[in-house]
């Protein structure tokens, strides 16, 4: 149940990414590259605040370091004004969830260019937290759309295989075995590499989703086939067949509802694989590409070991991926236990 609530929070954050993120995910602040995360503090005197960071460049190595000015408090508040944007592309809004209270902040030097970077910035000065929130939209929706396609393919092909039996069942099962014999990652790479470079981002997104789905339905089809084989000779199925019910009605009206809970559990446990598949392809540069923001695209910055060494906050999407995958696995285990009639 805790995992369910965590997943609901993640999807709620993804749905309201425009409002929750302090900055535009593609906004570049070239004056603050590789800025470390800023800790939000609270006190009776200042309320909600943080300390500004000042950039220092080593004259010999040219390495950039940031020094926190602990004597300066930058006040924060909720529902701060921002540049106008459209929530979900429909609702015009000019506020964001949290940000710097410009009306109350006066820097000692008169410079009001303080920034708020909750998870730091990347090499282009883009806010990692804002990009992670917007990336949740893509990474989490890939799993939902993918299981929708897997549901249709798994139910239809597995149901026909189990109900028809004989040569039809043998042909479908041998085809599934051949498909499962291919190493999935190299096959994903080969299919993703076939995407033309001039395709728009939305087309690439749906192509990657379909590729992941076409390789992930075989497990559900096997589950459906096994259940249909055990249920098609039950008394209620034979009675429906005796009164003249068609094959489609028997399969989808009488047999399928008998193991709906197992299908739901199987789909739930398949979502993490979809998310990890998209992350792997995008990380390798063969899946989604900029300007699309996803957790896998963000992790492309981590290919440089030195960047990870000096700027570990670039690995923030890894934590989100781990939490999401674990929550889906725990939630699937809970559904499986709840659907077990012998528990």
What average pLDDT does this structure show over 195-211?
A: 79
- pLDDT value, residue 342: 63
Please state whether 138 falls in left (phi above 0), alpha (psi between -120 and 50) or beta.
Answer: alpha
Distance (Å, rounded) from C-alpha 19 to C-alpha 22?
8
How far is the C-alpha of 134 from the C-alpha of 185, rounded, in Å?
26
CA separation, residue 83 to residues 23, 93, 178 (Å):
9, 9, 54
Q: Is 213 exposed, middle or buried (0-12, 13-18, 19+ CB in 10 A)?
A: buried
97-143: pLDDT as tens digits: 898 887 777 766 545 467 889 999 998 989 999 999 999 988 888 87
Could you tell me the pLDDT band of residue 144, with boundaries at 50, 70 and 90? confident
- Work out the angle at residue 271's Cα, subtended by the Cα atoms of residues 215 and 260, and round it to the nearest 5 degrees: 95
Segment 67-85 mean pLDDT: 87
Question: Tell me, what's the pLDDT at 128?
Answer: 93
Residue-wise pLDDT for 251-262, tens only, equals 888 888 777 777
DSSP string, 251-285: IIIIIGGGGHHHHHHHHHHHHHHHHHHHHHHHHTT
Distance CA 8, CA 117 (A): 25
Strand, coil or helix: 154: helix
Q: With bands split at pLDDT 50, 70 and 90, how would you rate the model's confidence at 188?
A: confident
- The pLDDT confidence band at residue 343, using thresholds 50, 70 and 90, is low
3-class SS at 219?
Answer: helix
Distance, in Å, from the CA atom of 342 to the CA atom of 143, rounded to the nearest integer, reads: 30
Q: Is the pLDDT of residue 14 over 60?
A: yes
Percent of the chain with pLDDT over 70: 96
Whether residue 161 has pLDDT greater than 80: yes
Task: Kindly report the pTM of this predicted structure.
Answer: 0.83
Beta strands in the chain (DSSP E): 41-43, 47-50, 53-57, 64-68, 74-87, 91-100
CA distance 109 to 69: 12
Q: What does the pLDDT read at residue 71?
A: 84
Once rounded to an integer, what is the mean pLDDT over residues 37-60?
Answer: 86
179 closest CA partner among 144, 229, 140, 222: 222
Domains and CATH numbers, the chain: 38-116 (no CATH), 130-339 (1.10.3720.10)
Report the SS3 class of residue 82: strand
The pLDDT of residue 129 is 94
> Using 50, 70 and 90 to split pLDDT, how confident is the model at 341?
low
């Amino acid at each position: 149940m805790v995992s369910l609530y965590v997943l609901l929070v993640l999807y709620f954050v993804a749905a309201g990414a425009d409002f929750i993120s302090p900055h535009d995910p593609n906004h570049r602040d070239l004056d603050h590259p590789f800025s470390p995360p800023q800790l939000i503090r609270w006190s009776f005197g200042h309320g909600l605040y943080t300390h500004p960071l000042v950039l220092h460049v080593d004259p010999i190595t040219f390495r950039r370091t940031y020094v926190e000015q602990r004597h300066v408090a930058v006040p924060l508040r909720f529902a701060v004004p921002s540049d106008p944007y459209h929530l979900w592309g429909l609702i015009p809004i000019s506020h964001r969830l949290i940000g710097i209270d410009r009306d109350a902040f006066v820097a000692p030097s008169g410079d009001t260019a303080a920034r708020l970077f909750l998870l730091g910035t990347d090499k282009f000065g883009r806010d990692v937290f804002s990009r992670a929130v917007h990336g949740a939209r893509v990474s989490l929706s890939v799993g939902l759309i993918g299981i929708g396609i897997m549901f249709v393919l798994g139910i239809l092909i597995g149901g026909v295989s189990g109900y028809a039996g004989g040569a039809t069942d043998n042909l479908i099962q041998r085809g599934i075995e051949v498909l499962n014999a291919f190493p999935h990652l190299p096959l994903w790479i080969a299919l993703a590499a076939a995407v033309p470079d001039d395709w728009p981002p939305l087309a690439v997104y749906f192509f990657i989703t379909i590729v992941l789905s076409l390789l992930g339905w075989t497990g559900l089809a096997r589950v459906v086939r096994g259940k249909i084989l055990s249920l098609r000779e039950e008394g209620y199925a034979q009675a429906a067949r005796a009164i003249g019910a068609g094959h489609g009605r028997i399969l989808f009206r009488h047999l399928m509802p008998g193991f709906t809970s197992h299908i739901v559990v199987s789909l739930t446990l398949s979502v993490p694989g979809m998310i990890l598949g998209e992350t792997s392809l995008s990380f390798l540069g063969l899946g989604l590409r900029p300007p699309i923001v996803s957790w896998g695209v963000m992790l492309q910055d981590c290919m440089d070991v030195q960047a990870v060494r000096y700027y570990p906050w670039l690995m923030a999407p890894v934590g989100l991926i781990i939490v999401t995958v674990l929550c889906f696995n725990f939630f699937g285990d809970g559904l499986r236990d709840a659907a077990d009639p012998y528990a």
